[in-house]
């Protein structure tokens, strides 16, 4: 009952905001271009504002792309349109102001969608170098190159081409090991199988293998164990509150996602781990950095935040997480949180960029 009321309330508020935006758009088109095709405008506006929701009913990549772009415009309109209307009112309803402000908004939205799409589809490699800083462990003078990625969100929108970009990055960087910190799948594993994405992932060939953990999106649709089995089939290690010793060089702890009520605590996992070796923990959401520090973890690798993905959401993630992006050191602990190789929802990034991290780790 409560969820039904909440959903009805959400739809009502969303519809009112869409009406507000649609009305402003119509008034501007009339003022700027003497636009007369009202029915056409209404039909087009209804299509745009409902495209993202409809895309889940028909599993349409095109609708998801269009709907995602609309969500970005919708979000910025919620902030900018009231300001434009306020200035319009204070300038005694100056028609020139209305027309010019409309042109500015159209130019702004065009920039956001073009630049944001470039950031989303053109990943960068960010390089780091760190040393083992644990006084309880004797340095061995060894060095490994880690490649870190998360949030691929493979699905209707992100598929073969973007995954091939990832394979190209891995092959160019030639790491010793690949670490995937969750949200491999977006909402359903069906597109993964339809597009035979395992065939592409199998092209990864690194000396110490590929280690992955689930993120919250990997649980959606009940496909988590299908993904785990598929990864094991192609030789990847998919860890869910499990510990692996990697050729007597590293101890890797892979955690279930924070949303999994049955996941073990860091204390429980560390009690079973070989702590003589450097301990690297994969944990999709960067929520328990302090606990990892307290229990002697040497490196914790996360994703999930997307660094907010679209400005100003980065301020929200920065407030929510101790390390929402980049590298943070707390005594012996190195925390790495990547903004992700893919994206969720709109194929747009403003204030963030799709990326992989490489870490040269000396121990």
- Those residues whose C-beta lies under 8 Å from the C-beta of residue 168, and which sit 6 or more positions away, are none
pLDDT at residue 233 greater than cutoff 90: yes
The pTM score is 0.93
Q: Which residue in the block uniquely carries the two structure tokens 């508020």?
A: 13
The Cα 55–Cα 69 span in angstroms is 13
Domains, in order of start, for the chain: 2-120 (no CATH), 125-362 (3.60.21.10)
pLDDT at 63: 94
pLDDT at residue 3 greater than cutoff 70: no
The Cα 337–Cα 314 span in angstroms is 13
Question: What backbone torsions phi and psi does residue 247 show, to the nearest 5 degrees?
Answer: 50, 40
208-225, pLDDT tens digit by residue? 999 999 999 999 988 899
pLDDT at residue 161 greater than cutoff 70: yes
Residue 298 in tokens: 């040497």
Buried residues in 33-53 as b, exposed as e (16+ CB within 10 A):
eeeeeeeebeeebeebbebbe
Q: Model confidence at 1, in pLDDT bands (50, 70, 90)?
A: low
Measured CA angle at 356 (ends 251, 185), to 5 deg: 80
pLDDT at residue 88 greater than cutoff 90: no
Q: Model confidence at 131, in pLDDT bands (50, 70, 90)?
A: very high
pLDDT at residue 95 greater than cutoff 90: no
């Amino acid at each position: 009952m409560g969820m039904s009321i909440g959903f009805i309330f959400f739809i009502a508020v969303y519809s009112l905001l869409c009406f507000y935006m649609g009305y402003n758009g119509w008034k501007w088109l009339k003022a700027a271009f003497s636009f007369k095709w009202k029915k056409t405008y209404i039909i087009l506006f209804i299509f745009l504002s409902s495209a993202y929701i409809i895309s889940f009913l028909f599993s349409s990549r095109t609708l998801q792309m269009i709907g995602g772009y609309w969500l970005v415009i919708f979000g910025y309109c919620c902030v900018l349109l009231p300001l434009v209307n306020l200035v319009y009112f204070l300038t005694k309803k100056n028609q020139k102001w209305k027309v010019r402000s409309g042109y500015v908004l159209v130019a702004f939205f065009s920039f956001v969608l073009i630049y944001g799409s470039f950031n989303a589809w053109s990943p960068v490699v960010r390089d780091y170098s760190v040393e083992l800083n644990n006084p309880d462990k004797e340095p061995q003078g060894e060095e490994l190159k880690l490649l870190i990625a998360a949030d691929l969100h493979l699905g209707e929108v992100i598929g073969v081409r973007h995954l091939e970009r990832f394979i190209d990055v891995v092959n160019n960087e030639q790491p010793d090991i690949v670490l995937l910190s969750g949200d491999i799948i977006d909402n359903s594993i069906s597109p993964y199988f339809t597009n035979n994405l395992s065939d592409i992932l199998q092209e990864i060939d690194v000396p110490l293998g590929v280690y992955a953990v689930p993120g919250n999106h990997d649980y959606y649709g009940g496909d988590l164990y299908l993904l785990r089995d598929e990864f094991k089939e192609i030789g990847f290690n998919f860890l869910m509150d499990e510990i692996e010793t990697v050729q007597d060089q590293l101890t890797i702890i892979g955690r279930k996602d924070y949303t999994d009520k049955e996941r073990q605590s860091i204390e429980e996992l560390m009690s079973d781990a070989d702590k003589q070796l450097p301990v690297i923990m994969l944990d999709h959401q960067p929520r328990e950095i302090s606990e990892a520090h307290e229990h002697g973890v040497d490196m914790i690798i996360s994703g999930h935040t997307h660094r907010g993905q679209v400005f100003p959401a980065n301020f929200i993630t920065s407030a929510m997480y101790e390390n929402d992006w980049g590298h943070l050191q707390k005594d012996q602990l190195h925390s790495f949180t990547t903004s992700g190789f893919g994206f969720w929802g709109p194929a747009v990034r403003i204030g963030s960029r799709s990326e992989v991290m490489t870490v040269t780790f000396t121990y």
